[in-house]
Structure 1
Amino acid sequence: MRKVILALSVVAALATTSCGTKKKLAACEAKNKEIQDLLNTATVKLNTCLSEKEALNSQIDYLKKNNNDLINNMGNMTTLTTQGAQNIEKALESMKEKDLKISRLQDALTKKDSVTLALVTSLKKEVGISDPDIQVNVEKGVVFISIADKLLFKSGSYLVSDRAKEVLGKVAKVVNSKPTFECMVEGHTDNVPYKSNGILLDNWDLSVKRATSIVRVLTELGVQPKQLIAAGRGEFIPLVDNLTSDNRQTNRRTRIVVMPKIDEFYEMIEKEMKTLSQK
């Protein structure tokens, strides 16, 4: 009987122990599941954070690159701005120099025009513009004295008349007052063919001979030979057509051109340019 009771006691104890273990096991399994859920949640959050971190790192790298580019661009812009300011300053200086050069050249031209105007006034006063056969005018800064051939020569002749010498004496007086000026004498004819006399062949020869005759008279009147130029233009530069007698008479003329020496004028300009370059 005791053995039976002992056996039943052992069985009861085992049953009781088994029930307690199952409860603990169930509790452990529940706890394990909870921990596993937490671990899974933490893993998901960790992966999310890692992804966000990678995206942030990429964004940071992008921002750093942009920042560096901006810094470099600011440096370039500063360089460009400085360079631009220097270029503008140089351009302004160049403009000032050009304006000064233009002003100097204008002054030189004004001086030349003043001399020309004074020369015209003297010529008109001395020669007398009341005579319709004598014209004094200015074209492009050069003084022209045009004298009809009927005052100077007989038809077909290159011998200077006494009346012409009186007129040329007045011209010589003005030219002598301008020793640095040049005086070019141009002979012009109409288009009527010249009858050759064995010495002169045509109108061109006649115009040249008339020019040299005038030049010789001017030298006799005191004009320096080095100031004089003789030129024959023949019939090739008429003032009007040669269809009428009056028109042909108009075209038969001697033109005296009084002008500053071109090389002296350029020397005057060069002098002004050198003066500018030294400033």
Structure 2
Amino acid sequence: MKVKFLLPVILLAAVLAQSSCVSNKKYAELQANYNKSLDTNAKLKQSWQVTQQELSGSRARVTSLEEQIAAAKATQASLQDALNKCLAGNNQGNVNIAKLADQITASDKYIRHLVDLKNKSDSLNQVLTNNLTRSLSPAEAQGVDVKVLKGVVYVSLADNMLYKSGSYEILPQAGDVLAKVAKIINDYSTYDVLVEGNTDNVPIKQTNIRNNWDLSTLRASSVVQALQNTYNVDPKRLTAGGRGEYNPIADNSTASGRSQNRRTQIIITPKLDQFMTLIGKGDEVPKN
């Protein structure tokens, strides 16, 4: 009798143990997915913050031009009113009327010049962005953040894409992103390239690195040498520089801000004659 009752108990225990095992495995899988979602969310938030800052700068420049246009239009209206009064009252001589007419013409020309500058600024940014990213496929472009600010192209790479924390040695997996950057640089072989290292304000704790100035400069030098030795970029075009902690784009008092500040920027700058050619191309870009 005892054997008959003992067998169901053993079977029940085995079923419960198997159920517990499956549950733990499922929990671990859900936990891994949750951690991955947190990491993805943090990266998207960082990208959004950088984009918002650059968008704010662009809006400020557009606002400044619009204010100048409004002021010039107000001046033109005032001059036109003065001319109308002169014509209505017939109290001024032909010389004064001609002078006012010349001032109105000059004011109108200045307004057109300001409007043209604004349109060309927008067009130039679009031309540079299109030209410098056309060598990348849509899938490749997702791994490289390319921005245009005041006619200069900035390719910004987070430090954890390239190096271990506190190190200037390039990670093996950084080869993919550097290959994409080199593809852009080599596509425009006459442009100058500045590689600029940036850090947060946390002091470095390495015996062979004195401070963040050293770290940022060594990181820039590592990227320059990789571009030269691995991806055949002409070293005459390359400059390596470090800005330490003194060029932040976010608040160093938060972990997210420090993460944004730890970056390497690859700055691609057309020469003056190339700028002039691009400005000419800017007129061909359709206005939205």
Query: Which residue of the partner structure matches residue 160 of structure 1?
Result: 170
- The one-letter code matched in structure 1 to 2:222 is S
User: Separation in 2 of the partners of 1:127 and 1:214?
Assistant: 23
User: Separation in 1 of the partners of 2:215 and 2:278?
Assistant: 39
User: Separation in 1 of the partners of 2:139 and 2:157?
Assistant: 11
- The one-letter code matched in structure 1 to 2:121 is L
Structure 1 residues 66-91: Cα deviation after superposition (integer angstroms, max 9, x where no partner): xxxxxxxxxxx999421023213422
1:253 to 255, 263, 267: 263
Q: Which runs of 5+ in 1 are unaligned?
A: 1-76, 272-279
Which runs of structure 2 are paired with 1:182-193 in the superposition (5 Å)? 182-193=192-203
- The one-letter code matched in structure 2 to 1:211 is A
Query: Is 1:229 matched with 2:239?
Result: yes
- The one-letter code matched in structure 1 to 2:97 is A
Q: Which runs of 5+ in 2 are unaligned?
A: 1-88, 281-288
Structure 1 residues 31-85: Cα deviation after superposition (integer angstroms, max 9, x where no partner): xxxxxxxxxxxxxxxxxxxxxxxxxxxxxxxxxxxxxxxxxxxxxx999421023
Query: Which residue of the partner structure matches residue 221 of structure 2?
Result: 212
Mapped contact 1:208–1:231 kept (Cα < 8 A): yes
1:181 to 172, 191, 197: 191
User: Separation in 2 of the partners of 1:266 and 1:116?
Assistant: 10
SS at match of 1:136: strand
User: Separation in 2 of the partners of 1:89 and 1:238?
Assistant: 49
Query: Which residue of the partner structure matches residue 252 of structure 2?
Result: 241
User: Separation in 2 of the partners of 1:233 and 1:240?
Assistant: 16
User: Separation in 2 of the partners of 1:160 and 1:126?
Assistant: 25
Distance 1:178 1:104, change over 3 A: farther
User: Separation in 2 of the partners of 1:238 and 1:215?
Assistant: 23
Q: Highest Rg: 1 or 2?
A: 1
TM-score when scaled to structure 1?
0.54
Query: Which residue of the partner structure matches residue 146 of structure 2?
Result: 136
Distance 1:116 1:193, change over 3 A: same
Deviation, structure 1 residue 118? 0.5
Deviation, structure 1 residue 114? 2.9
Deviation, structure 1 residue 177? 2.1
Which runs of structure 2 are paired with 1:64-75 in the superposition (5 Å)? none
User: Separation in 2 of the partners of 1:227 and 1:91?
Assistant: 48
User: Separation in 2 of the partners of 1:126 and 1:173?
Assistant: 14
- The one-letter code matched in structure 1 to 2:225 is R
TM-score when scaled to structure 2?
0.52
Deviation, structure 1 residue 234? 1.5
Which runs of structure 2 are paired with 1:1-279 in the superposition (5 Å)? 80-95=92-107, 97-99=109-111, 101-102=113-114, 105-106=117-118, 108-119=120-131, 121-122=133-134, 125=137, 128-131=140-143, 134-198=144-208, 200-220=209-229, 221-236=231-246, 237=248, 239-244=250-255, 248-261=258-271, 263-264=272-273
Distance 1:268 1:250, change over 3 A: closer
- The one-letter code matched in structure 1 to 2:134 is S
Percent identity at matched positions?
Answer: 33
Deviation, structure 1 residue 173? 1.2
